[in-house]
Each structure stands twice: as C-alpha cells, then as structure tokens.
C-alpha cells in the first residue's frame, strides 16, 4: 500500500494571523469565497474559511503563532498571469514586484507576481512557462 494511491489531494491550508478581520478582507478582496465567517468555529480561536476553486484556506487568529505565517508562501496557479496582475491592481493591491517575474525552481519555470498578505505571507500568482501568448 502506498500513500500515493490513497491520497486524493490537498484538503486545506491553515494560516495563523494576528488580525483575523484584516486577513478576512484581504482574501475576500482577492476573490476567495468566504465559506465560514469569523463568528463561530470548532477551533479555540476565531477563524475564517475560504475557497478559491478547489483550494481551501483556513485563517485563524492567534497572535502567538502568527509569526510563522511570515515564512509562508501560497502559490496560486493561473492560466493568464497578466489578467491576474491587472485584477489585483484593479482591486487596489500593490504587487511586491513592479513587473512580472520569471522564476525557475524544482517545479519548473513560471512567470508570476506576489502580494504580501496582512500576516507577512506571500501570495504568488504563477503561470507555467510555455504560454508565450500571454507572458
């Protein structure tokens, strides 16, 4: 038996933040669907839960653990990085980099940009290279 035959995908990402409302507005403004608002949850601290396509994100307010979020990067795959860049700017976000970046790494080259979240996390929007018509 192998885990690769049992696992079906990533269930969710859990992020800690010192300010839940600021994070809730940040991810909502980026177009994530708010599934569970900050009111009630089974967690010890207040949480908000979001969906973006089949990606699930839970943001929990816990200032004592929020520092760990500053080392987190979320990378969202997009089919048109220029459109995503324009969308972010139209919503009032200022990308960290003024222009699109070409990154290479173990998962292959991608073109993208990043935003800095309210907890210090980076949210990347990346398009796999090989799509010269939009990059």
CA–CA distance, 85 with 125 (Å, rounded to integer): 8
More confident residue, 66 or 113: 113
pLDDT of residue 42: 57
User: Per residue in 41-90, pLDDT tens?
Assistant: 556 788 899 999 989 998 988 888 877 777 788 889 899 999 999 999 99
Under 8 Å between Cβ of 41 and 47:
yes
**Which of 92 and 43 is assigned the larger pLDDT?**
92
Give the residue with greater pLDDT, 126 vs 43.
126
Name the DSSP class of 63.
Answer: T
Measured distance CA(93)–CA(84) in Å, rounded = 11
Per-residue model confidence (pLDDT) at position 112:
92
Q: Is the pTM of this model over 0.85?
A: no
CATH T-level topology, domain 3-128? 2,3-Dihydroxybiphenyl 1,2-Dioxygenase; domain 1 (3.10.180)
CA pair distance 132, 44, nearest whole angstrom: 47
């Amino acid at each position: 038996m192998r885990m690769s035959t049992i696992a079906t995908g990533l269930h969710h990402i859990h992020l800690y933040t010192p300010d839940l409302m600021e994070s809730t507005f940040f991810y909502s403004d980026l177009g994530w669907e708010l599934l569970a608002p900050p009111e009630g949850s089974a967690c010890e601290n207040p949480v908000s839960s979001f969906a973006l396509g089949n990606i699930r994100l839970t943001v929990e307010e816990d200032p004592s653990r929020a520092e760990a979020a500053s080392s987190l990067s979320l990378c969202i795959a997009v089919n048109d990085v220029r459109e995503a860049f324009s969308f972010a700017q139209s919503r009032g976000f200022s990308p960290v980099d003024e222009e699109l970046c070409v990154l290479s790494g173990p998962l292959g080259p991608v073109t993208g940009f990043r935003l800095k979240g309210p907890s210090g996390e980076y949210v990347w929007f990346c398009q796999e290279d090989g799509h010269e018509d939009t990059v």
